[in-house]
Structure formats: C-alpha cells, structure tokens
Structure 1
Amino acid sequence: MLTTEMSSHFNDLEKMSVRALLEGMNSEDMTVPLAVAKAIPQIELLVTAIVEKMKKGGRLFYIGAGTSGRLGVLDASECPPTFGVPHEMVVGIIAGGDTAIRRAVEFAEDDTQQAAQDLDKYSINDKDVVIGIAASGTTPYVIGGVKAMRERGIITGCVTCNEGSPLAAAAQYPVEAAVGAEFLTGSTRLKSGTAQKLILNMISTSVMIQLGRVKGNKMVDMQLSNHKLVDRATRMVMSELNVDEATASQLIAEKGSVRAAIESRK
C-alpha cells in the first residue's frame, strides 16, 4: 500500500474535541520538515540541473493535478512579483486547465497524453526543465507528461510523497518526501501538500538566488505592485545606501526598482 494511503494514526475523528483535532493535526504536521530534510540531497541535484538550464535561457514547468497542480501554479505565479522575472520563465500547468484551479475537473488526471499536449502549447524544448508533482506518485497525467518529456531529452524532475513510485522511476531527478499516513486517511492536501509546498519554495527560491535575483538577503527585483511593497523597497534602499526616506522614495520612483535605485548610487 502507498504510504499516502495508509490508515491514520488517529481514529474516531468525529468523536474528538476541536482541541484534540487541532493538536492531532499539529503533531502530524511536525513530522513534515523532517521528511523534507531527508530529501535535501535529491532537491540539490534537481536545483543544480534547473539552474544550469535556466542560465542558458531555459524555463521551468510544473505539471500536476488537483492539490499538486494548484501548488505548482501557486509557486509559478509568485515568481514574477517576488523576483521580477517574466511570467513565461516559470509556468504552472494543472490537469483540466485553469478551471481546475478552483473546481475539480473529473477524470482530468487520468489522461496520460494530455500533459505533453499542454506542454507543447509552450513550444517546450531541451533548454527547459519539467517537474511533475504528485503526492501519490501514481497520477497518470503527470507520469505521462514526465515520460514524454524525458523521451525527448528534456530534463525532468518530480516531487512525490511515496518512495519507489512510478513517477519517481520516470523522472531523471526524483524528489521523494515520505511523510507517512495523513491525519485524515488519504487526504494528501494535508501533510503531503505541506511537504510539496515546502519543497517548491526551496526549489524556486534557491534557483532564483543562484540566477542572481537576490542581493544579500533582499528581493531587489521584486515588482512594486502595491503600497506595502513600495514601503519595503524604500526601507531596502535606505538601508543599503544609508539615505533618508525621501531620497530613497525619489530614487525608486525614478529608477523603477530596488536594484536600479541601489546601482545608480554605486
């Protein structure tokens, strides 16, 4: 049996108090970072491969279904505002299309051919990297896409929460974070989803740092799309250049980004 389908360590959930439910879920969640830590050597290999391709102009694609697909779309959508990269540089694709982000599309994950067709819409090529995301490691949509891309000589990775899965076997760079049984049996949006989110955070953030999209520990290329971010940018420039708020604000307004503001004075 898949570990993601194993019976919960807790029973009679409907008889538990709210406090007991929350404490039970929290105790299970505490095991997730430990599982992710064990996967760091695998994550390192995948990140290194991604950086090499992206330095040559490649892109990163996530493919997934259900919760896994939504997590890929989320991570991809946060890269442009956080790191100032083009929207087409990191792309999240979910089985069933964008409709499936908000509402499940029945049987979309069972099509072994559709992921390759979805990727082809982006003129996928051997400069790119494709990461399949599936908690179970058995999702046909994801496995089919990863196999098709690997056959074409495209670098492939995966993020799964079962060891020895068909998806891991199909991917060139598998990442396996075996978090064990879910608090609610089989509900992989819980621990498995948390593990996947942590791993995707690690992948995209470390890749962008390696690509020079961070200075020190600051998001110097972030998009200034709201007042909160403009205020954050102002503080960055004040700190980096040792100038007052008015000067920092003027520099940002003139140059359009934290990086440009800082470089204009150095």
Structure 2
Amino acid sequence: MARKKNPAADVIEMTPPQGTQDVPEVAQIAEIERQALILRQFGDGLPFDPYRYELIIRDHLSRSAEAMLAAGRALIVARESLPHGDWMPFVERVGIEQRLANRMMQAALKFSDPKTMKLVEAAGNKTKLIELLVLDDEQIAELADGGTVAGLVLDDIAEMSTSELRRNLREAREEQKAAEQLLADKGQKIDTLKANLLKANKRLKEATVDDQVAQAAQDVAAATLGAQAAISTTLADAVRRLAELHPDSGTLIAGHVAQVRAALDELVANEGIPDLAPAAPSWADEEN
C-alpha cells in the first residue's frame, strides 16, 4: 500500500515567511526565494526557527574566531528571515549589542570564502578577526595566499596581541591615507598646470600676428639683456677675482671668453643672423 503524503511537509515548505501574508503574490514568491537562498548559503539545512537560532548563536559566541563566523552566518539567516520589527528583540534575547551583531555579520560575509580559512586560523579569536575587517577583499586574499599586507604576514597576525594588531593596522591605514593624499595633491597640481597650459595655448591662438611678433621681440630683448648682464657682471667679477688671485691665468680666462664668442658665432651661423658692423660714433660724421 502506498504511503500517504504528509500534508504538514507541504505546509512547512509552501507557507510564506512571517510578515509576508499581506504582500502581493509575486513579491511573496521573490521573498521566499531570497530567504531560501540565504538558508542554503548560511543556514544549517533546517527551516528557520528563531528560538533554535538563539541557542546556536549563544553557543558560538563563547568559542573561537571560526565559531564567531558561524554565529555571524546564523545572524544573517535570522536577520533576513525575521519579520520587520522582530530583529532588535531577537538580538537582545541573544545577549549581544546591535553594533557587534553587525560586525559579526560583516565578518561572516567577508570571510565566507574557504580560501580565507588560514587567515581565520591565524587570527585565532573573534576580537582579532573583527580588527581584520578593515582590510579589503584583495588584501584578505593576499594574506590568505601567504602574501604581505600592511607589513604583516599570517605568522605575525597569529603571534600579535589584539592591541598590537590594531596598532599596526591603524598605522598602515594612516600611511596609506597620507600616500593617497600626496598623490591627490600631485594630481591636482598637474591638472592645474594642464589647465593653465590650455589657457595659454588658447590665448596664443587667439592673438594676432602683430601681437605674437611683439611678444617674440620682447623675449629676444629680454634674453639679450640677460646675457649682457651675465657677461658684464657675473663673468666680469669672476674674471677679476681669478686675475687678482692668479695673475698668470690670462690664457685660461681667454679660453673661457673664446667659448662665449664661439657660442655667439654659432648662433649667428645657425639662425642666419646678418653680421652688422658696429655703429660709428656720432662724432665721426661731424665736420672738422
């Protein structure tokens, strides 16, 4: 004789979660699917029961970092399964603060990958594991793979106290912020220089040919005056000082002066500058 199907099983499987009876059918189905996904990922294979999950979480809270993650997974199931308004009383009955419950759920999400188990084992206790929440996913993966993050490796984390780990992570964050700020400042300066260059190029394009010629003539005049000043002051003073200290240095001085003349001759030749004769003094044209 065929065994009769237990109608209670259908009731458990198909009854909408608490607080969803007044929700439209499509939304109810979506909510049921979401809670089923949460149960598959974080649950223990049994339907959600708030009183049973209170016991599970209390039991895990008294154990190691790995047990804290199990408690965090159970909290996720409870948070996603309880009707609106029942979450805070549930947390109070468990005996933990809302902030700690949030951190534990964050830890369960962040360390849900089995590859991070070595890092969880290195942390050892729940307080050190919570300190590691400041790391991003890439840093956690790097540590779990045996790499170095914030100057730390797995063995360092295992040997450090919670306060030492917190101090090292804080210092690393401050150094990272300082480096990021430096890069941001440099980037801002580069952007400012680029903007100024674009403005200058725009002004240059908008300037008339006469304006450009006048500006170029001013640039040549300024450079010429600068060269003359350098020869008549800086170079002349240096020549006098050397001649006073070493009267026989005339040949050395002449060699340096020849270099200056050669530079001018090269400029004249390369740029096709006409070789003008020195202007005659005004008295030369006066009649005797």
> For this structure pair, what is the TM-score category when the shorter chain's length is used for normalisation?
under 0.3
Structure with higher strand content: 1
Which protein has greater RCO, CA pairs closer than 8 Å, 6+ apart?
Answer: 1
Higher Cα Rg, which structure = 2
Structure with higher helix content: 2
